[in-house]
Amino acid sequence: MNPILVTAVAAWLIAQVGKVAVEWFRTRMIDLRLLTTTGGMPSAHSALAAALTAGVGLAEGVASPVFAVAFVFSMIVFYDAAGVRRAAGEQAEVLNQMLRDLYIEHEFRPERLRELLGHTPVEVLAGIGMGGLLAWIGWLLTRPPAGV
């Protein structure tokens, strides 16, 4: 079993479940659809990438080539989560408003576009923090005893 992979996947799963909890605290409603969607607090993609990178850094050292690969991969994930996908979600929101306006005036029935695609910087940072913390806990639980 690969403890770094297990920790990264656990970070992703915990973040996805965390979205349901955050939504419940916010609205007092349980929305299980959040378990399979993108966007929301915290960023599961960011949690997974941060846990992977932190796990590799703890196990192999930050000077290792594999850490460099994981770090660059994570930067792309963070940028995409807060930048590209967020912008696409904002565009979907504008298009949906235009379609609502068109529907009201002309009885047009469009399919609604998904607006919650990306993350705010706070959601990405929450995912990074969660992933880093879980990687550290996983490293503590799986490292060999001192002197061995």
The pTM of the full predicted model, rounded to 2 decimals, is: 0.67
Q: Which two tokens stand for residue 101?
A: 């306006």
Q: Is residue 148 part of a domain?
A: no
Give the pLDDT score at 68: 95
* CA-based torsion, 81, 85, 87, 93: positive or negative: negative
Report the C-alpha gap between 123 and 113 in whole angstroms: 22
Give the pLDDT score at 109: 58
Q: Is residue 147 part of a domain?
A: no
Q: Is residue 138 part of a domain?
A: yes
Going by C-alpha positions, the residue among 120, 113, 110, 112 that lies closest to residue 87 is 120
Q: Is residue 103 part of a domain?
A: yes
Give the pLDDT score at 54: 96
Host domain of residue 40: 3-142
Give the pLDDT score at 16: 93
Q: Is residue 106 part of a domain?
A: yes
CA angle 142, 77, 42 (to 5 degrees): 70
Which alpha helices (DSSP H) does 107-148 contain, by range? 121-142
Q: Is residue 29 part of a domain?
A: yes
pLDDT along the chain (148 residues), means of 10: 94 93 89 79 90 96 96 90 70 72 64 61 85 89 75
Q: How many domains does the chain have?
A: 1
